[in-house]
Amino acid sequence: MAASASVRGLGWRVLACSWELPCTWRALHTSAVCAKNRAARVRVAKGDKPVSYEEAHAPHHIAHRKGWLSLHTGNLDGEDHAAERTVEDVFLRKFMLGTFPGCLADQIVLKRRANQVDICALVLRQLPAHKFYFLVGYSETLLSHFYKCPVRLHLQTVPSKVVYKYI
């Protein structure tokens, strides 16, 4: 409001200074700031958009209706190396997204037990089985060598994305 008033005022001053053409001054329209939360939320559609349980719940439902996608001790009180685990998580998620293109039905669940990393993924049956086997072996070997820790992949196949509701 104040911005538009000041611009309008400026516009009037400009107008007063140089009257050349009528009604060609451009005003900047502003409105009040609308700081909506947009994090991890799927916006409602007409009722035809299928969403999974994970997508349907916003971040404020974590620990109430949702669990955590990544479990490790780094975020506990007095424990170290939370940042390193988070960076590893980001890489692992991107890696899985790229290695199984179009096959992932939902977010990856990462579990850490001592130095072992368990990657649990829900996959669609897009690829034939032998290709899945190859990708699993390839990912496990590559990631184990990369992180110098045992990395195990656990896949669960579903015929299609599990729909929680339509929004």
Partner 1 sequence: MAVAALQLRLILCPGARGLRSFSSAVRPAAGPRSWQQCGEPTAAGEGCKTSLEAVAIPSEVMVTLQKALPPRTEKMDVDQDWPSVYPVAAPFKPSAVPLPVRMGYPVKKGVPLAKEGNLELLKIPNFLHLTPVAIRRHCAALKDFCTEWPAALDSDEKCEKHFPIEIDTADYVSSGPSVRNPKSRVVTLRVKLSSLNLDNHAKKKLIKLVGERYCKNTEVLTITTDRCPLKRQNYDYALYLLTVLYHESWKTEEWEKNKTEEDMEEYVWENSSSENNALRTLLQMRAAESGVAPSRDELLGTREVEDYRKSVVQLKNEGENEANLTQYKESVKRLLNLA
* Residues at the interface with partner 1 (CB under 8 A): 50, 52-54, 57, 61, 65-69, 71-74, 78-81, 84-85, 101-102, 105-107, 109, 111-115, 118, 120, 122, 124-126, 128-130, 132-133, 136-137, 140, 147-149, 152-162, 164-165
d(CA 100, CA 145) in angstroms, rounded, equals 19
Signed CA dihedral, 47, 48, 49, 52: sign only: positive
We find the least distance from the C-beta atom of residue 156 to partner 1, in angstroms, to be 5
**Which residues are registered as beta bridge partners of 122?**
156
Element (H, E) at 117: strand 116-124
We find the least distance from the C-beta atom of residue 103 to partner 1, in angstroms, to be 9
Q: How far apart are the first and last CA of the chain?
A: 35
We find the least distance from the C-beta atom of residue 97 to partner 1, in angstroms, to be 13
Residue 6 or 156: the one with the smaller Cβ distance to partner 1 is 156
